[in-house]
Structure formats: structure tokens, C-alpha cells
Structure 1
Amino acid sequence: MATLLRKIGLIRLHDRDTDGAKHQGSRKASKKNGGKQCNAPSNESILLQSDHHHYHSSSHHQQQPHNHKRCEQPPTKDASKDRQQPQQQQTGSKVPAGGSSNGSVPGQLPNKQHCAQVRSRRLMKELQDIRKLTDHFISVELVEDNLFEWNVRLLQVDKDSALWQDMKETSTECILLNLNFPDNFPFSPPFMRVLSPRLENGYVLDGGAICMELLTPRGWSSAYTVEAVMRQFAASLVKGQGRICRKVGKTKKAFTRKEAEATFKSLVKTHEKYGWVTPPVSDG
């Protein structure tokens, strides 16, 4: 019996020593790790982490090839045409040299249309303003219903002038003038000449040409109106001591446009050479 008890005691002592050695080994390992006790992950947690990592890596690999494939996909023919269409719209279609696709010279037709519209609107407004005048200074008639050619009647001049006295004595109701408006009016002056009666002096020259700086391209301004030009002309007639011609043989000779144009061209050259301040008497 005693022998049996001793054997049991030895077995217990052996187990206790074995457990103590295990505990001492774990304590030594913890000391080597800086005194921190490391809890090794269980097999279940390792499996969960590996499954989570596999899920993310698999989803990333599923998306990444799709994006990479979309970036490296070469453009189709339709897409290249879509990119070329805006460039063709900006540059426009090719036009043959010397004309447009419809056979017209580029830039001429739109400019002509624009100038015609500007000229028409301006002259229509001029007509309306003249008809609203209350002093009946001038009146306008269209030549053969042509908006771009007017016959203007100057009904009044300075009543203290010799010209006004001549008009009363000769029963001359008005001084008739003709105005032709160019294509680029109001940016160029109209060509104005006297039709009747035949005048002397007053800056009226051969053919009825008028010596006035504002009627030249250099002296003209688009702000000038027909009314303003006519008032300036009436003042220049009096200032230049204009008179109605009463000489025998000359009163029946009418002014002509061809002569007026030649005279006006000549006087413009003369004044460009000598200036407009003190023009020669023979040139107006």
C-alpha cells in the first residue's frame, strides 16, 4: 500500500514539474518578445482573414482588367468620324479658287447685300425726316421711283440776298438739284449737281457741278444728312454771290451730267493740290 501511494505521488510530482516547465518556457518566450504576450490567432480567424483577402483581391482583379481594357480599346471608325466632323465644321468646306461652292465670288454678294440694306434704310429715314420739316425748306421727288436718285427742290434761300431777288423777278419757284447716291452711301458722299435754273457764281461750275468740300470723299462724313447738305449749299450760294444767269444765249443752254462730272473731277484734283481754304476763282 505504501508502495502504491508513493507511485501515485511520484506521478503527480512528474505532471506538476512538466506543467511548470511549460509555463516557464512560455514566460521566457514572452520576455524575448519584449515582455508582451502574443496571442496566436486561431485557425478559424486565419481562415476568415484569408477569405476576406481573397474576396478583395478577386474583386479588384475582376474590375481592373475591365478598366484596362476600356482604356486601351482602339477607337472605331465611327468615333474617328465624330472627332473629324467638328474640325470640318470649323474649317468649312473647300471652295474652288476664284469662287464659292455656288459659283459666286466669296465676300462680294454678302457685302453688296449689306451695303444695299444700309443704304436703303438710311435713305428711307432721310425721306421721312424731310417730309416732317415744318419750314418747307426743301422737297424731294424720286426719279422714276428710284430710291437711289433724287430730285431735290430748294425752295428757300436768304431773303436778303440778290439770288432771292432774282428768283422773284424771274418767277423761279425753286432751284432744282439732282442727287445720286452710290452703293456705299452713307459712307461716301452723293454726287450732287444743279439742274435748273442756270446759275452763275455761288460755287456752281460748268455743267452744274458744285464746289463744296463736304461733297468730296475727303470732306464727307457719314453723319451728314441730305437736309444738312442742302442747307450748307443754300448758304454757299449766298456767300458766293450766286445769281441766275440772264445773258442772252446762255439761259437756254441746259446743264448736263457728263459735263458736271468732268468739272467736279477736275476741281477735286485742283483743291487736293492747292487746298480748300483759298481756292482759285476759276476753280470755284
Structure 2
Amino acid sequence: MSHTNSNTIILRRQLAELTKHPVEGFSAGLVEDDNLLEWEVMIIGPPDTIYEGGFFKARLSFPEDFPLSPPKMRFITPMWHPNIYADGNVCISILHPPGEDQYGYEDSGERWLPVHTVESILLSVISLLSSDTPNLDSPANVDAAKEVREDLQGYRKKVRRLVRRSAEEAFD
């Protein structure tokens, strides 16, 4: 199932680049060598945050018309965060298709653009995890958002528990 169109050329180039010059904070590779549209990534919990010490596995699934449309990103490691759905799907502006946001929360400039790369996506996710104040405007995980508002200590404790478990599982 090899596509020799431009999207796989772009993805192959990005993969080569990340292999040659790894970026601090994550690693990325293909799930299967012959499929450039499915990537597995490992995000390392950013230092000095409640995620420090964690190892978070995720999948990036690229559409056939990449880079015109954004990939989807889903954490496989259990996450507890207002901007990550309970099923692990990541909800951030950069992964939303171009055009106006029907809910009016986002400036179209924050959304997906074909210049974005695997690196810029993962750096956005790392900055999402690094932020002390998650965006509670249109939460993907309503319960996590509610806990951030009503019991920040409890929220942080729950995240730390997941972080410890992720570290244990990473080295199983």
C-alpha cells in the first residue's frame, strides 16, 4: 500500500529529519515500516511540570490528503487533561482543520496549516502539558476541566499517579 504521492514524500522527509536530528522531549517513528501514514510517538513529560518523569505513548494518523488536512493524535497512555478526550484523542487548535471555528473560540491563525510538521504538532502538545492553566473554554474532557476548576490539588494528584504508572509501564 505504498503511495508515492507528495504526502508520503513530505512525511518521509520529516521522519528522516527527526531520525537525524532528534528533538528534545519526544521520539517518533513509524508503526510499520511500509506505512508512512501511521506514526507512534513517545512524549517525555516536560521537566518542572506535573508530567515530569512520565512517558506517554501516542499515535499520529495522517490523512491521505496530508498536509492539506491535519493528522489525528491519540494518546495510548491513559491521560487526565481538559484538552484530551477520555479516549485519548487530543483536542488542540493546531490539529483542527483550517477555516473558521464554528464555536468561535479560535482564531483561524491558530489552526492547521500545511506548513505544520510532526515536530510542530508534538511541540504544541508538550506545551499543552507544560501549561499550568489548561484551556477550560471548550474542554474535551469535561470532568477533568471541572476538577481543575474545583479541586486543583486533586487534579494534580491524579495526573501524578498516571505519570508514575506511565513510567513503570514504559520500562516493563
Instruction: State TM-score, norm by structure 1.
Output: 0.41
Name the structure 1 match of 2:113.
221
Q: Deviation per CA, 1:168-204: give whole Å up to 9, x if none.
A: xxxx4x21110111110001000111011x1111521
Query: SS in structure 2 opposite 1:140?
Result: strand
3-state secondary structure, aligned to 2:122? helix
How far does residue 236 in structure 1 lie from its aligned partner after superposition?
A: 0.6
Report whether the alignment pairs 1:209 with 2:68.
no
Q: 1:132 to 1:239 in 2, by over 3 A?
A: same
Percent sequence identity over matched residues? 27
Higher share of residues assigned helix: 1
Residue 69 of structure 2 corresponds to which residue in structure 1? 188
Higher RCO (CA 8 Å, separation ≥ 6 residues): 2
SS in 2 for 1:206: coil
| SS of residue matched to 1:162 | coil
Match of 2:31 among 130, 143, 148: 143
Q: Report the Cα distance in structure 1 between the residues aligned to 2:132 and 2:5, rounded to whole angstroms.
A: 37
Gaps of at least 5 residues in structure 2 are: 99-110, 146-172
Q: 1:199 to 1:240 in 2, by over 3 A?
A: farther
The alignment's C-alpha RMSD in Å is 2.7
Q: 1:156 to 1:163 in 2, by over 3 A?
A: closer
Residue in 2 that maps onto 1:245: none
CA change 1:237–1:156 in 2 (3 A) is: closer
Structure 1 residues 229 and 220, CA, compared in 2 at 3 Å: closer, same or farther? same
Runs of 5+ in structure 1 lacking a partner? 1-112, 243-275
Can you list the C-alpha shifts for 1:136-191, whole angstroms capped at 9, x where unaligned?
A: 4322231222211000111351x111111xx3xxxx4x211101111100010001
Q: Aligned pairs, how many?
A: 129
Q: In the alignment, residue 191 of structure 1 is paired with which amino acid?
A: K
Return the alpha-carbon distance in structure 2 between the equivalents of residues 182 and 156 of structure 1: 27
Q: Give 2:58's aligned amino acid.
A: L
Cα gap change, 1:152/1:232 in structure 2, threshold over 3 Å: closer, same or farther? same
List, as ranges, runs of 4+ consecutive aligned residues in structure 1 with deviation greater than 4 Å.
Answer: none
Given that 1:203 and 1:211 are in contact with CA atoms closer than 8 Å, whether structure 2 keeps it comes out as yes
Aligned twin of 1:279: 138
Task: Give 1:158-169 correspondences, 5 Å limit.
Answer: 159-164=47-52, 167=53
CA contact (8 A) 1:116 1:183 kept: no
For 2:51 and 2:74, the matched residues in 1 are separated by 18
- SS in structure 2 opposite 1:147? coil
Amino acid in the other structure paired with 2:37: F
Aligned equivalents of 2:89, 2:120: Cα separation in 1: 18
TM-score (norm 2): 0.65
Q: Following the alignment from structure 2 to structure 1, what is the Cα–Cα distance between the partners of residues 21 and 121?
A: 15
Q: Give the structure with higher Rg (CA).
A: 1
Alignment partner of 1:163: what SS? coil
| Displacement of 1:216 | 1.2
Partner of 2:42: 153
What SS class does the counterpart of residue 5 from structure 2 fall into? helix
The equivalent residue for 1:123 is 11
